[in-house]
A and B are shown apart, each in its own frame.
Chain A
Amino acid sequence: MARASTPIVRAGGDWAAVMGSRLGQRPSDLSHHAVEQTRRRLRVALISFSLVFVVLIGRLADLTTSYEVIGSSKAAKTIVKQERPIITDRHGVVLATQISTTTLGADTSQIENGAAMARQLSEILPRLNQSRAAQLLSRQGPYVKLQTGLTPDERRAVLNLGNPALQLKKATSRVYPNGEVASHIVGFSSSDMRGLSGIELWLDQGEEFSLLDNQFETSLDVRVQHSVRDELMRAMEKFSAKGAAAAIMDVHNGEIIASVSLPDFDANRPTASPKSTHFNKIIQGKYELGSVFKVFTVAMALDGGYVTRDDIFDASEPMKIGPEKISDDHPQNRPLTVDEILVHSSNIGSSKIALQVPEQMHEEFLQRLGMRDRIATDFPARVRPAPVSRWTDIERATTSFGHGISVSPLHVLVAGGAMINGGVLYPPSLQKVAMPIGQRVVSAQTSSTVRDMMRRVVTVGTGKNANVEGYAVIGKTGTANKPQQGTYSEDARITSFLSGFPGHAPRYVMLVMLDEPTGIEATYGQTGAGWNAAPTSGNIIRRIAPILGVLPNRDATQQEAKLLNLQQTAMAEPRSGGSYAP
């Protein structure tokens, strides 16, 4: 080192010297000194190695004894992720659960020929996209995910390939055994088990649910849900409608029994359907639902004592409010009783009734029905009704027959329930309600009167097609032209039918809505609600009433006329003991 300029090549000639020299064999003080120095430095080496091994053993001891803490926290994390509740209907039928699956990934750094491996894999995995897999496998990244949800057979086939680059991981995936049937309500979740819509999203929004056996029991009845969906699909097809929706609620506690919005999607493959199908018309939709509002108008006027059942309003000619003209779809061109106004769905009549009510009372009544706010639950994606900018006679008049007021179908369903259950409004619920807490909005007497009138709509009025023998269906049609660029469309309509059954003591309220039904031969080209929404409601009730344990009462049917005239309030008194506002 000292003579660094010495060329190394010359040193090559020293090999013979090294080999031949009697290295260190000459005893000398020099050699002895060197040995002694090395001896001293060996002690340093000994101490260094001792320290290294102390560190190594210490680290080993630390690692092997620290497992409990790290292991348990890791395990806990996994459990939290897998403890997503099972969602069931009201009878325990599973709507959402999870199953163990296998995810296939690959360590690309161990793969020489990505295309060849992709070909090999596509032979055993029919669902694998070969070209995409080849692209992934040729990537630089350390890990690529190839396919999720391998079946046990596929998993075995991959294992049999015996390629260490392929990695199989246990995964949990959420499945929805009923697919489309309740997809809007149950919602769906992402592949990493986060809720993205419906109840799945609701569960992740931080609210504490008291779950028994980690099971979220909804108020839905999957049998009813299925029947409603089936009938709606038939109606949609029959009337070539763009969409359809229906919801059923228990009038005595607000439990939602069924809620269907069409077109819908398979919750197991939400992305396979267009995004528009994820829209839940019942909760997210906002429509001018038309004449079903006359029920509320009449109930308001009767309950406030501003009109009586036998008051007569002239509907012989269109009504003028300022520049606007209100006319009837089914013109009778004569003075009508309140009963007749509802039965023949007279816009003129209902406008005149509404104007009998003081302006402020009208607004207050709509607020009490919840028409001005979001529905009072925590369920995600509830729509807020369109705000009202002006509240003059013309707005009040159109609102009386359901125009110029945009609310969700759920709003009408909830308010409709209060009109027929004896006058108490219960907030809707997607879980079973142990202690229903409602708010009185009209008197039991008014509710009873409204029921009679709604029965007459079905027996002699626009809702004849909804009648189901033995169930004394009560209801009200609603036909609204769709708002279009500031005015109303001529032929695009939303038709709806608000109904209750059994009519003598309603237990369920239902709203059926069709989006742009077209006229067919059987309806003589008519597109009014009485021709499509009403018969669809009848079909649904005919099918679901037995499921719901509602028995047909043929005696009641025979004595109907008599009973209707008696107007017994006792009969209509709700069986449930809600907390009534005085």
Chain B
Amino acid sequence: MRIFSRTDRSFVSEWWWTVDRTMLIGVGVLLALGYFMAFAASPAVAQNIGMPIYYFANKQLMFLTFAAAVFLAVSMLNPKQIQILAVFILLASIVAVAMTLSIGVSVKGASRWLLIGGLSIQPSEILKPAFVVVAACLFARQRAQFDSKAVLLSFGVLVLVSILLVMQPDIGQMTLLCLVWMCLYFLSGASLSRLVMLTVCGAVAAGYLYATKPHVASRVDRFLDRSAGDTYQVDRAMDAIRSGGVVGVGVGDGQVKSILPDAHSDYVFAVAAEEGGLIFGALIMLTFGFLIWRALNAMRNETEHWIQLAASGLICLFGLQASINLAVNLDIIPSKGMTLPFISYGGSSLLASAITMGMLVALMRRRAVSPMRMSTLTASQLDRQMRGQL
């Protein structure tokens, strides 16, 4: 039974035949894992703080449904629409981030949230994919038209956003954005000497933050020297992952979720590794790794430079965020407030992940190539494109 006929030229049918369905499956797996972990990790946390047992799980279920819808909707847009959407979201979220500084809701010493219609939203999460797409456009424009103002503009936006994020403070998101911007700069073909220069600038900025922001310094110190302070969450996460072993202690039998305040969000991977062991942990990692590999690989055959950059930037954002979260969970780098896309609890994070992957999948869709462009394609690219058309 065919749901979509090849000859069916309707909107949805066209989407079905041009979208990378393997990516859809990958994102679907992540959504399912997120659904699973919402019920595995969050009831214990809800109990700890005296909420109804399925308080977080039910909310997350709602978020996941919404995120799936957003993902599908965004993935149906064409590249032009993605561009417009990105610019719109970027402008809106910059304003929103600025607003958090004055009317934001403060949680655990940081004012990152805006209360809109009873829901608290973290605009800095939504900002990330939009920023990546806009920056990619600007980098592509610079390459296409020798317009160095474009790069300068993207750098200006990065600085503005970074300053806002440091004021919140949200050093983790800021670091992530800077890293992704560096990735884009590198991918767009920047000279290596400039990259080195920027890296030095980044190191200086990091040193400045270490010297002036006590909580940054304390996190780094605690990572470097366990006796420097409280490493409770990381230590418990390590215990949990170790006790999980190869096959895990069994679904629902994990202990760490009942003692870790962030078991459902930042340390959800530790819960997963404790209950499902190496096998389940590796499955989560491989799912992320596969998505990254597939997207990056696909972009090697992309002929449109801005799309190539934007999609690569989006997958770098996604991949870096996942890698940083996993590395924190595995105690490879200092703890940083960063969620695991799709798996961690949190509406804003989920929404941002959905937009990121939605935009990525939209940009990865096969498109008709104009005959003029055909002439510039390499043989293998042409082959790919032709097969896609058939």
Known: A6-B152, A50-B293. A38 touches B187 (CB 8 A): yes
A70 near B242 with CB under 8 A, answer yes
- Which positions 1-38 of chain A face chain B at CB distance < 8 Å? 1-4, 6, 8, 10-12, 14-15, 18-19, 21, 23-32, 34-35, 37-38
A279 on the B face (CB < 8 A): no
B273 on the A face (CB < 8 A): yes
Known: A23-B144, A45-B187. A61 touches B278 (CB 8 A): yes
Task: Identify B245's interface contact among A50, A52, A67, CB under 8 A.
Answer: A67
Bound-complex Cα distance A217 to B292 (A): 68
A582 on the B face (CB < 8 A): no
- In the assembled complex, how far is the CB of residue A334 from the closest CB belonging to chain B, in whole angstroms? 82
B312 near A45 with CB under 8 A, answer yes
Bound-complex Cα distance A18 to B135 (A): 11
Residues of B within 8 A of A42 (CB): 187, 296, 299-300, 308, 312
Q: Mark B119-159, 1 if CB is under 8 A from A, else 0.
A: 00000000000000010011011011100111111011000
B152 near A8 with CB under 8 A, answer yes
Known: A14-B149, A110-B261. A46 touches B296 (CB 8 A): yes
- In the assembled complex, how far is the CB of residue B382 from the closest CB belonging to chain A, in whole angstroms? 13
Residues of B within 8 A of A57 (CB): 282, 285-286
Q: Which of B97-105, B325-333, B347-355 contacts A (4 or more CB under 8 A)?
A: B325-333
Interface of A: prevailing SS: helix
Residues of B within 8 A of A360 (CB): none
B156 near A63 with CB under 8 A, answer no
Known: A23-B144, A60-B278, A70-B242. A162 touches B305 (CB 8 A): no
A71 on the B face (CB < 8 A): yes
Task: Identify B150's interface contact among A14, A26, A110, A163, CB under 8 A.
Answer: A14
A64 near B305 with CB under 8 A, answer no
B296 near A49 with CB under 8 A, answer yes
- In the assembled complex, how far is the CB of residue A315 from the closest CB belonging to chain B, in whole angstroms? 76
Q: Mark B367-390, 1 if CB is under 8 A from A, else 0.
A: 000101101100000000000000
- In the assembled complex, how far is the CB of residue A298 from the closest CB belonging to chain B, in whole angstroms? 68
A14 near B50 with CB under 8 A, answer no
- By beta carbon, the residue of chain B nearest A36 is B378
A11 near B152 with CB under 8 A, answer yes
- In the assembled complex, how far is the CB of residue A262 from the closest CB belonging to chain B, in whole angstroms? 47
- By beta carbon, the residue of chain A nearest B47 is A162
Bound-complex Cα distance A109 to B327 (A): 25
Bound-complex Cα distance A10 to B144 (A): 20
B230 near A142 with CB under 8 A, answer yes
Q: Please count how many residues in chain B sit with their CB below 8 Å of the partner chain's CB atoms.
A: 76
Bound-complex Cα distance A37 to B83 (A): 23
- In the assembled complex, how far is the CB of residue B15 from the closest CB belonging to chain A, in whole angstroms? 22
A64 near B376 with CB under 8 A, answer no
B188 on the A face (CB < 8 A): yes
Q: Please count how many residues in chain A sit with their CB below 8 Å of the partner chain's CB atoms.
A: 60
B71 on the A face (CB < 8 A): no
A55 on the B face (CB < 8 A): yes
Known: A53-B289, A70-B242. A162 touches B149 (CB 8 A): no
- In the assembled complex, how far is the CB of residue A223 from the closest CB belonging to chain B, in whole angstroms? 47
A485 on the B face (CB < 8 A): no
- By beta carbon, the residue of chain A nearest B369 is A27
A35 near B308 with CB under 8 A, answer yes
B144 near A55 with CB under 8 A, answer no
Bound-complex Cα distance A64 to B272 (A): 12
Residues of A within 8 A of B292 (CB): 49, 53
B21 on the A face (CB < 8 A): no
- Which positions 240-282 of chain A face chain B at CB distance < 8 Å? none
A30 near B143 with CB under 8 A, answer yes
A56 on the B face (CB < 8 A): yes
A35 near B303 with CB under 8 A, answer yes
Residues of B within 8 A of A18 (CB): 87, 134, 137-138, 141, 150
Residues of B within 8 A of A39 (CB): 299-300, 308
Bound-complex Cα distance A29 to B376 (A): 8
Bound-complex Cα distance A65 to B319 (A): 26
A379 on the B face (CB < 8 A): no
Task: Identify A23's interface contact among B140, B286, B288, B332, CB under 8 A.
Answer: B140
A55 near B332 with CB under 8 A, answer yes
- By beta carbon, the residue of chain B nearest A11 is B153
Task: Identify B261's interface contact among A31, A64, A66, A164, CB under 8 A.
Answer: A164
A107 on the B face (CB < 8 A): yes
B304 near A1 with CB under 8 A, answer no
Residues of B within 8 A of A53 (CB): 285-286, 288-289, 292, 323
A60 near B273 with CB under 8 A, answer yes
- By beta carbon, the residue of chain A nearest B277 is A64
Residues of B within 8 A of A21 (CB): 141, 145
B194 near A64 with CB under 8 A, answer no
Known: A1-B152, A53-B323, A60-B281. A45 touches B241 (CB 8 A): no
A91 on the B face (CB < 8 A): no
- In the assembled complex, how far is the CB of residue A46 from the closest CB belonging to chain B, in whole angstroms? 5
Residues of A within 8 A of B319 (CB): 49, 52
| 30 sample A-B contacts, Cβ–Cβ < 8 Å, listed by A number | A11-B153, A18-B134, A19-B83, A23-B137, A24-B141, A24-B144, A27-B370, A27-B376, A30-B143, A31-B305, A32-B376, A34-B140, A35-B308, A38-B309, A38-B312, A39-B308, A45-B186, A45-B187, A45-B316, A49-B323, A56-B323, A61-B282, A63-B241, A63-B242, A63-B273, A67-B243, A71-B243, A162-B47, A162-B50, A163-B50
- Known A-B contacts: A8-B156, A14-B149, A53-B288. Give 17 more (CB < 8 A): A3-B152, A18-B138, A19-B83, A25-B304, A27-B376, A31-B143, A35-B302, A38-B187, A38-B189, A42-B308, A46-B297, A49-B293, A49-B319, A57-B285, A64-B244, A65-B246, A67-B242
Chain B residues near A (Cβ < 8 Å): 47-50, 83-84, 87, 134, 137-138, 140-141, 143-145, 148-153, 155-156, 183, 186-189, 194, 229-230, 232, 238, 241-246, 261, 273, 277-278, 281-282, 285-286, 288-289, 292-293, 296-297, 299-300, 302-309, 312, 316, 319, 323, 326-327, 330, 332, 370, 372-373, 375-376
Chain A residues near B (Cβ < 8 Å): 1-4, 6, 8, 10-12, 14-15, 18-19, 21, 23-32, 34-35, 37-39, 41-46, 49-50, 52-53, 55-57, 59-61, 63-67, 70-71, 107, 109-110, 142-143, 162-164
